[in-house]
Amino acid sequence: MAQENQKEEKITFNIDKDRNFSEWFTEIIKVAELADMRYNVKGFVVFQPWSVLAMEAMYDLYERALQRKGHNPMWFPAVIPEKNFFLERSHVEGFAPEVFWITEHGASEKLEEKLALRPTSETAIYQMYSLWIRSYKDLPFKAYQRAQVWRHETKATRPFLRSREFYWIEAHDVFANEEGAMRQVHEDMEIAEEILHKKFGVPFIFFKRPQWDKFAGAVNTYAADAIMPNGKIVQQPSTHLLEQNFSKAFDVKFRDSDGNEKYAYITCYGPCISRMFASVIAMHGDSKGLKFPFEIAPKQIVIVPIAADKNNAVMKKAQELADLLSANYRVEIDASEKSPGEKFYYWEMKGVPLRIELGPKEVKEKKLTIYRRDTNKKEAVSEKQLLKFVESSAGEITENLCASADKYFSGIIKDAKSLDEIKSAVDSGKIARTNFCSTELGGAKCAETIEKQLGARVRGTRVDKSEKPSGKCAVCGKEAKEVVYIANEY
């Protein structure tokens, strides 16, 4: 349906998410005005205010967590000189097909050197780290930036999930030894648990990626995978253990306490806020529309005056309540000319956690009717108890959404012993767990068989627990050395 006809669609939105997730996802993006796909460059979309407000809150939570862990913010240019980009061979081989190159300025003046529009920032940041880090006293060095990156994605693009421009945070941390670097890998996992899971309500599994699927230039890649209601995986924050690969390429060295000069160990971490947002709306929404965890809701409370045109006291009280709540919460008064029913449907579709219904009766009795989007139920609350109710409800709403997502996620893994059983699992929207020959390069052929025959991919081995295989590889029949997980992905 055309964007200009959304006014009616917003009110009548009712798509069964469980039966047709793909249609639901596409339509809620349009109807809730999250993104507009009509921008006239293929693979690029416009993020609209309702999604940006949520993602700004998500950024804030993530950045505060990083800063608590000792990271400092920085801003780097969006362009990278070609000579920088080609210093680390495996990195350039991995990213070259996706890079946007800037070659001209003005009408048709050629640049002296091509500039890469950053697909990721290692080759920009580490040349500066080589200047900033001189001694072991400078370590650990932990910094991050909030940034956009650009990649010429060749797969089908989809708003928030896969596009040619996306919004993320990238942290780049430097250590004196491998032990410090690995501690950072685990700290990154802890941040993902604290924010992605507990604040955003998105459960995940942290995997060590197979060697054929690691970040270009890394020794190992560790990544959080969440699953959508249609059974497809969305990769969430990933940490790359670069060790000394980039420090040698960019001369990131320090003088140790023994007086010797040594190459540093580096990790990089990339929480993609736009992808996390996709997971939030997909995981929590229902047939009415969106549901937001309280802390990241664009508007946390909407006040709906009823019969305000006939009773001035109603609008006066609505403004009093808004002034009271706005000190700590994101609040809106819906003073539009829509009917109360239209307003209710609209804000339910938009996912506002709390709705205060305020009519002459509520003003007179000093008792408010409050609707909670997470439970879809109303409660009568004394006006004097409003602040206390909102404070307690805020935590409950996020916890309820998280618990519901956890319940769904708990039944998502299915054991499989053969290609047929793997296919059955992934086709039914599950993650298949199976015995596998090896996630070293020798197992790449089996992974290729899975991808060609099933359209699914090996996600890796679990980081949070040790699992021992028993029996043969489900693909080649050789002795299994590892237990891996297999799923469809975006």
pLDDT digits (tens, 9 = 90+) for 171-211: 999 999 999 999 999 999 999 999 999 999 999 999 999 99
Residue 310 CB-half CA count within 13 A: 5
C-beta separation of 96 from 139 below 8 A? no
Relative to beta strand 265-270, strand 165-175 is antiparallel
Confirm if 58 and 294 have CB atoms less than 8 A apart: no
For the chain, domains (ranges, CATH) are: 3-284 (3.30.930.10), 299-392 (3.40.50.800), 413-489 (3.30.110.30)
> Treating both helix axes as pointing N-terminal to C-terminal, what angle do 21-31 and 273-284 enclose, rounded to 10 degrees?
110
pLDDT value of residue 6: 40
Angle, helices 386-410/273-284, rounded to nearest 10 degrees:
90
**What average pLDDT is seen over the chain?**
93
Query: In angstroms, how far apart are the furthest CA atoms of the chain?
Result: 82
* pLDDT, tens digit (0-9, with 9 covering 90-100), for 261-279: 999 999 999 999 999 999 9
CB atoms within 10 A of CB 165: 18
pTM for this prediction: 0.93
At 155 the pLDDT is: 72
Q: Which of 461, 463, 411 is nearest to 436 (CA)?
A: 461
- 79: helix, strand or coil: strand
Residue 5 pLDDT grade (very low, low, confident, very high; cuts 50, 70, 90): very low
Tell me the C-alpha distance between 178 and 242, whole Å. Answer: 10
Q: What angle do CA 264, 265, 266 make, to 5 degrees?
A: 115
| Other Cβ atoms closer than 10 A to 103 | 11
Alpha helices in 251-304 (DSSP H): 273-284
Q: pLDDT of 408-450, one tens digit each?
A: 998 899 999 999 999 999 999 999 999 999 999 999 999 999 9
| Cβ contact 412:304 at 8 Å | no
